[in-house]
Amino acid sequence: MYGAQQAAGAPVPHAARPGAYPGAGWQQPNQPWGPPPAAARPRRRGLGVLVGSSAAAVIALVALAASILMVATTPREEPRPTGTDLSARYDERLDARPNAVEVDLVDHPLYGASAPEPVDCSTPELDMNSDESWEEFATASGVCLDELWAPTLEGMGLSVEPLEFAVTQDSPDADGAEGYTLAYYESDLARITVVLPNVRHMGAQIPARHREDVWLALMGHEYGHHVQHVTGILTISHDLRWNAGSEEDELDTLRRTELQAECMAGVGLRGITGADEETLEAVNAHFNSGGDLDTHGSAGNRAFWLEQGWSEPTMDGCNTYGAEPGQVT
């Protein structure tokens, strides 16, 4: 997070019982005359016919099942491809991992770009006491900053999605912090959030005619962090801070990051308002005064870099990573 700070189933049935054969137990009655001549015993054919018929049926069923099994298990012929065989055109180099993109903080392509041209874009009047008005103002400022920076970023081959803007009543500042946060940028959420209690506290000390210019500079600073993110600068800066050998080196990198965002705030201020020197001086007097900050630089250097962004014709004017130590203290 980077921010702008201000000092200070059913049962189965049983099987049916099989019935007895017809005439079972029947006997011939006694007769008064002698027994008739012996006759050949009649053949009992019913059971043999039944058994033979049943056997034939079973054989038929077995044959039917075998034919079904053959049909079911016989594999189908695979369709032959009719299209063009592309395997001969495959390039094994496609299997290789892409080369890492190297970002040089001192000699970055961004610095060779011209400063963004001014845009004709307006913001709504701000009601300091309305949360809705603050969110509307921040969102409109973001739309203008999108329009301002788009040509520069697209010229570098970068496609940038619009940011989300929000307001909060909760301050992210820890107890005993050297200043208070006015707004902050979250790269993982692509969002800028304005801390309402803090901007209202500061706004009460700014003449009404200069407030909206000051808040445009604030939004420009946070949008500067977004520019740093999409160009890869912010990631390298974070890595340098993480791997710093001392607290002094870590703070030096952080100040260069924050002062570059302040320079980009000057770019935004000029590009949206067409500010004259009097307006620039007023914004610096109310936005960058109030004391030095170890994380954001001295008041004099913050003012210097805001003016650099406002006045320089190329983005090389915002190369804080190549600046002398005295300009980033």
Q: How high is the pLDDT of residue 72?
A: 52
Cβ atoms 318, 267 nearer than 8 A: yes
Residue 152 lies in a domain: yes
Tell me which residue range forms the domain holding 232. 116-327
End-to-end CA distance of the chain: 21
Considering only CA atoms, which of 264, 275, 308 is closest in space to residue 300?
308
Residue 256 DSSP SS3: helix
Residue 295 lies in a domain: yes
Strand order in the sheet with 2-7: 2-7, 179-186, 191-195, 164-168
Six token digits for residue 300 = 């004099």
Q: What is the pLDDT of residues 230-263, one digit of tens each?
A: 999 999 999 999 999 999 999 999 999 999 999 9
Residue 171 lies in a domain: yes
Residue 153 lies in a domain: yes
Which stretches of the chain score pLDDT less than 50?
Answer: 9-51
Residue 177 lies in a domain: yes
Residue 96 lies in a domain: no
Residue 58 lies in a domain: no
Q: Report which secondary-structure segment, H or E, holds 255.
A: helix 247-273
DSSP-derived pairing of the beta strands 164-168 and 191-195: parallel
Q: How high is the pLDDT of residue 95?
A: 66
Helices (H) and strands (E) in the chain, counts: 8, 4
Where do we find the tokens 């009404």? 208
Residue 106 lies in a domain: no
Q: How many CB atoms lie within 10 A of CB 55?
A: 10
Where do we find the tokens 């137990």? 25
C-alpha pair distances (Å), 64 with each of 55, 58, 223: 14, 10, 78
CA distance 124 to 135: 11
Number of domain units in the chain:
1
- CB contact set of 42 (below 8 Å; sequence gap of 6+): none
Q: How high is the pLDDT of residue 54?
A: 57
Considering only CA atoms, which of 215, 198, 285, 162 is closest in space to residue 5?
198
For 99-154, the three-class secondary structure string (H helix, E strand, C coil) is: CCCCCCCCCCHHHHCECCCCCCCCCCCCCCCCHHHHHHHHHHHHHHHHHHHHHHHH
CA distance 122 to 137: 10
**What is the pTM assigned to this prediction?**
0.72
Cβ atoms 217, 132 nearer than 8 A: no
